[in-house]
Structure 1
Amino acid sequence: MNDKMKLGLIAAFSIIALFVLSLWISSTPAGADNSVRFGILTLLPPLIAIALAFITKETILSLFIGVFVGEFMLSVNDINIVSTIVNAFLNMCVQIINCMADPWNAGIILQCLLIGGIIQLVTKMGGAKALADAFAKRADTPRKAQLFTWLLGLCVFFDDYANSLIVGPIMRPVMDKLHVSRQKLAFVVDATAAPVAGIAIISTWIGLEISLIAAGFKSVGVTNITGFGIFLQTIPYRFYNIFILIFIVISAMTLYEFGPMKKAEQEARARKDDEEIMVLEAPGFEEVKPVEGIKLSVWNAIIPIGTLIIGALIAFYWSGYTTILGGEDQALIAIMKSSPLSFNGIYTALSQSDASVALFQAALLASIVAIVMAVGERILTIEDAISEWIGGMKTITITGVILLLAWSLGAVIGEVGTADYLVGVLSSTIPAFIVPSLIFVLGALISFATGTSYGTMSILMPLAIPLAWAISSGDMSFTIVATSGVLTGAIFGDHCSPISDTTILSSMGTSCNHIDHVTTQMYYSIFVGIITIFIGYIPAGLGVPFYFSLPIGIVAMYVGLKLIGEKVDFEEVGETSS
């Protein structure tokens, strides 16, 4: 069968499928809620995008089609598919523009572009190579390199996006030299991004988390608590976050792997030092080399990246500080005026900050610092420095395209009612002790289907807290466990989803093929997710304290990895490379 015939069959099948879809939707009552009107069809946009991503390995095309299918469903008025297709295309264009115009989204894309420019400048100044060489002297085996990447991920705790784009490019040459696969690097980076930011008391996540928690408890009449206080109490029950971070250490120490990751690691071990690493759809910075003849210095990396990190923390505080003083909440204003630098003052300011603006400000400042250093050290002229900075942004452009389509798909999924449909189907009457596990699974499914942890938390938290409170007759401890299930389930599903923004950024930051990253990480996430349910949330629902579940879960991960995994011995590679 030639290509023209294949294309014709695909076009014919698509037209028939759209006609059947139009016929089905047009027969439903137009005035009904979309989750009721579309029913099981609400799952089509995310399922089509996810399935095509795995089948075709074309992330952009898959997301595009997913968005189009969702807009097509929303545009159906009758069985005239020609007018529906035209309206769906026009609405899709508007949706993408609206996502780009959203201040939060615009800030995220801009800070990603700026970080790309910083990384390129740091690379041209030799800072990245100097830092990688310094790390390689200490992380001289695959085991140490993975642990070092894990530790670096913990250090960039304040934001998962920044984590993915900082840690990945720094550690990639070290991992490549030691024959550790890009897939394993992407997993370590991804698994130390959202899981760390989600439980850090200073991060871009905490404002959303505590606001949702406070609103949820207020809805059941509990007003004598603070969202931050409940947030702190959920940390020991954030089983998936804790277990996935410890699993990285267990896997690195034992060198045991399973599933597609084992194959990726075996292929990396067999790779010759001068063999080119084939990376599809994963543009990176590996083709950028330092300027010839310059003296390598780690400070050419430490100062710009340090400026980014410290600047971000200061920008978070200042953003929240000015927001509070410009607002009308007299209690918060009093805190800022009386003790602005106390723990409570700093926490209050951070919880009110606009993370996307703060990160953009920090990235712009770090960009200026990097340009000034490159020119001041006579490594680059001002024209060349700006050119390299812009060149680094171009490397991240594809990330921006994917993020825009992922956000557009999330918006369309919200309009067709996917999350509401899943909640309605899965939240039937169940035994009380299953509720935390059900909430975790429900959060995972919504996050997997929508590709957003934030959106999942926003959708599920107002439902989960009242449900847990009612079933437990107002048991605070039980409700706290259920609350943690929302927060961790969202991250678990996000880790498994190919349309997740953090998963996409981890792929780009490590120059790993995106679908390869998803398929290798998914096995590990599901393994840890199963332990989270059976050793974490089910016992917690029965009242078992976390200090029993956590050590048992760690032992279970170690034993399970030993039973289903196989050691990929890199010791010889590490010795010859060091």
Structure 2
Amino acid sequence: MIKKYLILLFLFISTAVSAQQISIPKFTLTGINFELSLSDIPDSIKQVDLKVQNSSHTSSYLVQVRDGKVDTTLNISSFGNYIIHAKNIKVKPAEIRVIPGWFSILPPLIAILMALLIRQVLVSLALGIYIGTIFIYDYNPLTALLRFADVFIIEALIDRDHMYVILFTLLIGGVVGIIARNGGTIGLANLVTKYAKTPKSGMITSWLMGLMIFFDDYANSLIIGNMMRPITDKLKISREKLAYIVDSTAAPIASVVIVSTWIGYELGLISEGLKLIGSTENAYDVFIQTLPYRFYPIAALFFVFITSYFQRDFGPMYKAEKRARVEGKLYRDGSKISIKKDVDLALDNQKARWVNGVVPILIILFGTIGGLFYTGINSLQQNGITEYSLQQIISSSDSFSSLLWSSFVACLAAISMTVSQKVLNLHDSIGAWHKGVQSMLFACIILTFAWAISTVTNELNTADYIISILSDSLNARFLPFLVFILCGLISFATGTSWGTMAIVMPIVIPLAAKLAEYSNLDASGTSLIIYGVISSVLVGSVFGDHCSPIADTTILSSMASHCDHIDHVKTQMPYALLIGIVCIFLGDLPTAFGLNPFISIFLIFAVLTGILFLFGKTTLFSKAD
């Protein structure tokens, strides 16, 4: 009996002691604060004497007890394995591993450098994730390889919001596949081509077509290039100018509209970044808020219009237009033209009905808007709010569900319309849908890896380390400008805007939040920097993509326009660089210091127009216009 009571007493004491647990992370970085907590401290203890030690180093911290617990932050300057214990109370010692702070920037840095070197974004992201996983799991390469798959990739996929993004991205791709195959996109193009009678109207018509086919940059490039080339050839518009119009309306319009194949990808990256900083903001609402700060694509679309409307150009583009108008040479002598078979966008051009393209797109557009209102109002009413503004509705809405519902219904509508009109049978319609879905699969894989590396950098406290280095030398308001430059360089070197977004977005959103906090910015100032940084990632990636000779949309534009690829790059780059520089100095920098973005857009438009008239020369070499 005595033995039994002794065992019970021992278990009671053990439980009492084990209740006092030192709570710390498994690892931390040198020089970076980490949180320590200890609860269930007896009332008689007013201070806890903490010891942090390893074989060569010991530090002491006397911490005040409040309400029977300790919550404090500690900082260890040397790497290694440490033991933390309390000297004046009975508590189980805790172990913490301290790794060099600069290790935390290696995963994203390696991903960026490898992307620049091998131009394979997926491989680069995978390597960055793996290196970070090695650091997290005590430098064990085998364990890291296993956790790479069963922790970071799986966690990225099982997240509810992530699954929504993947599903509606694939569904929107399916819609695009169907309307490209059933002639809906060609029908849209045919609506405006009949108005192209002169060089001026031909260029503006091409620009308008680019705005109309806003839902996908690839479809945009292929349709406009192939549809307008015979018309612009008759009007003596150079192939370089057509390729420029095609390229400069494809990604810019697809990246800023609220319904496109880009929206799911962009929302997925934004949503993950907001989670990393603990923000409860709606990703779709943030997307809308960043639109006025998307200076480059807005300015690029504007510049295409004014060069076409006023028929003025400069630099290599002027020479190309003069050659075409005066000599009748649509492309340079010795040009290497891609004479590939044009992409079959529909089975029969006579079956190309614009309604088949418009209806599914309108379903996505208005279905999404309706879903936002439905979910937003429902959420507000559940919280007892009966009077609300439009901003409150959007902020409280479920954008992911709205996009999923609308894209699913659009798929059903597109298939039903195609089959009922006997444009395609059910088998071919499903095949077209499947091809569209396939076109988005690789993007979804990259997105999954981007989510995974964002988790890795978050666990490694990458943003905290960068802040510890830059906080004394970098003003938070310069961050959007620097991010624009960084994304432009990466996108130029890799040729992929989406890959650049995936690499950079997970790093810079937490960095912006931390730097704004360190700079003592208020809530509005912090939001301004975060919106600016998100915009800079999205538009800087498009900017670099425009300048890059290896970018997919650049190649597609020159191919569809039957333009020498290098000639297209040479004629487009001066325009892209000019727009980028103007947007930096009149957009990114002044708005970060509080200038209204709409004033910036007006100034950008005014300066670009002035430069065109100051340095541009007229291409009116005939009486056609």
* Structure 1 and Structure 2 fold alike (TM over 0.5): yes
Matched position secondary structure for 2:472:
coil
**Which residue pairs with 1:45 in the alignment?**
111
The number of equivalent residue pairs is 490
Correspondence 1:562-573 to 2 at 5 A: none
Aligned-pair distance for 1:136?
1.7
Aligned-pair distance for 1:138?
3.0
1:356 aligns with 2:422: no
**Which residue pairs with 1:397 in the alignment?**
441
1:185 aligns with 2:212: no
1:133 aligns with 2:190: yes
The 2-side partners of 1:189 and 1:559 are apart by: 25
Q: 1:176-210 CA deviation, whole Å, 9 max, x = no partner?
A: 54446667534423223444559xxx999899999
Q: Conserved in 2, the CA contact under 8 Å of 1:96 and 1:404? A: yes
**Which residue pairs with 1:110 in the alignment?**
167
The structure in which a higher percent of residues are helix is 1
The 1-side partners of 2:264 and 2:124 are apart by: 34
RMSD of aligned residue pairs (Cα, Å)? 5.7
Q: Which moved more, 1:393-402 or 1:522-531?
A: 522-531
Gaps of 5+ in 1: 1-26, 54-60, 157-161, 220-226
Q: Conserved in 1, the CA contact under 8 Å of 2:269 and 2:451? A: no
Q: Conserved in 2, the CA contact under 8 Å of 1:371 and 1:385? A: yes
Q: Conserved in 1, the CA contact under 8 Å of 2:360 and 2:413? A: yes
Aligned-pair distance for 1:364?
1.4
Q: TM-score, normalised by structure 2?
A: 0.60
1:381 aligns with 2:425: yes
The 1-side partners of 2:122 and 2:266 are apart by: 25
Letter of the 1:270 counterpart: Y
Pick one of 601, 608, 611 that aligns with 1:557: 608
**Which residue pairs with 2:363 in the alignment?**
307
The 2-side partners of 1:43 and 1:348 are apart by: 39
Correspondence 1:74-473 to 2 at 5 A: 74-75=133-134, 84=141, 86-94=142-150, 95-138=152-195, 143-149=203-209, 151-152=211-212, 162=215, 164=217, 167=220, 171-177=224-230, 178=232, 179=239, 185-195=246-256, 240=296, 243-253=299-309, 254=311, 256=313, 269-270=330-331, 277=338, 286-291=343-348, 295-325=351-381, 329-331=383-385, 334-335=386-387, 344=389, 346-415=390-459, 419-429=463-473, 436-442=477-483, 445=486, 451-452=501-502, 455=506, 458-463=509-514, 465-466=516-517, 470=521
Letter of the 2:540 counterpart: G
Q: 1:371-398 CA deviation, whole Å, 9 max, x = no partner?
A: 2112222333333332332233234434
**Which residue pairs with 1:13 in the alignment?**
none
Aligned-pair distance for 1:365?
0.7
Q: Conserved in 2, the CA contact under 8 Å of 1:320 and 1:349? A: yes
The 2-side partners of 1:51 and 1:561 are apart by: 37
Identity of aligned residues (%): 21
Aligned-pair distance for 1:520?
9.6
Change in Cα spacing, 1:270 to 1:194, as seen in structure 2 (3 Å) is: same
The 1-side partners of 2:170 and 2:377 are apart by: 26
The 2-side partners of 1:505 and 1:107 are apart by: 27
Matched position secondary structure for 2:397:
coil
The 1-side partners of 2:292 and 2:346 are apart by: 44
Aligned-pair distance for 1:494?
3.4
Q: Conserved in 2, the CA contact under 8 Å of 1:436 and 1:541? A: yes
Letter of the 2:405 counterpart: Q
Letter of the 2:157 counterpart: M
Q: Conserved in 2, the CA contact under 8 Å of 1:440 and 1:488? A: no
Aligned-pair distance for 1:464?
5.1
1:491 aligns with 2:563: no
Q: Conserved in 2, the CA contact under 8 Å of 1:122 and 1:300? A: yes
Q: Conserved in 2, the CA contact under 8 Å of 1:116 and 1:393? A: yes
Letter of the 1:48 counterpart: M
The 2-side partners of 1:113 and 1:511 are apart by: 27
The 1-side partners of 2:128 and 2:343 are apart by: 37
Q: Conserved in 2, the CA contact under 8 Å of 1:46 and 1:413? A: no
Gaps of 5+ in 2: 1-77, 82-96, 233-238, 491-499
Aligned-pair distance for 1:240?
5.0
The 2-side partners of 1:261 and 1:303 are apart by: 40
Q: 1:394-438 CA deviation, whole Å, 9 max, x = no partner?
A: 3443443444444445544555555555444444346xxx65334
1:535 aligns with 2:574: no
Q: Conserved in 2, the CA contact under 8 Å of 1:120 and 1:285? A: no
Aligned-pair distance for 1:534?
3.0
Letter of the 1:531 counterpart: V
The 2-side partners of 1:359 and 1:436 are apart by: 33
Change in Cα spacing, 1:231 to 1:496, as seen in structure 2 (3 Å) is: closer
Change in Cα spacing, 1:107 to 1:308, as seen in structure 2 (3 Å) is: same
Letter of the 1:65 counterpart: S
Matched position secondary structure for 1:270:
coil
Q: TM-score, normalised by structure 1?
A: 0.64
Q: 1:305-348 CA deviation, whole Å, 9 max, x = no partner?
A: 222222222223223334444x5x333xx23xxx6xxxx2x433
Query: Considering only CA atoms, is the larger Rg found in Structure 1 or Structure 2?
Result: 2
Letter of the 2:360 counterpart: P
The 2-side partners of 1:238 and 1:315 are apart by: 25
Matched position secondary structure for 2:360:
helix
Letter of the 1:372 counterpart: S
Q: 1:190-247 CA deviation, whole Å, 9 max, x = no partner?
A: 223444559xxx999899999999x99x99xxxxxxx999999998776556544534
Aligned-pair distance for 1:512?
7.8
The structure in which a higher percent of residues are strand is 2
Aligned-pair distance for 1:368?
1.0
Change in Cα spacing, 1:105 to 1:126, as seen in structure 2 (3 Å) is: same
The 2-side partners of 1:118 and 1:231 are apart by: 22
Q: Conserved in 2, the CA contact under 8 Å of 1:535 and 1:552? A: yes
Q: Conserved in 1, the CA contact under 8 Å of 2:513 and 2:526? A: no
Q: Conserved in 1, the CA contact under 8 Å of 2:480 and 2:589? A: no
Q: 1:513-558 CA deviation, whole Å, 9 max, x = no partner?
A: 9x99999988766543432343345556788787876555434434
Change in Cα spacing, 1:299 to 1:518, as seen in structure 2 (3 Å) is: same
The 1-side partners of 2:395 and 2:153 are apart by: 29
Higher relative contact order (CA 8 A, sep 6+): 1
**Which residue pairs with 1:8 in the alignment?**
none
Q: Conserved in 2, the CA contact under 8 Å of 1:308 and 1:366? A: yes
Q: Conserved in 1, the CA contact under 8 Å of 2:285 and 2:395? A: no
The 2-side partners of 1:395 and 1:285 are apart by: 18
**Which residue pairs with 1:24 in the alignment?**
none
Q: Conserved in 2, the CA contact under 8 Å of 1:317 and 1:353? A: yes
Change in Cα spacing, 1:235 to 1:115, as seen in structure 2 (3 Å) is: closer
Letter of the 2:478 counterpart: S
**Which residue pairs with 2:64 in the alignment?**
none
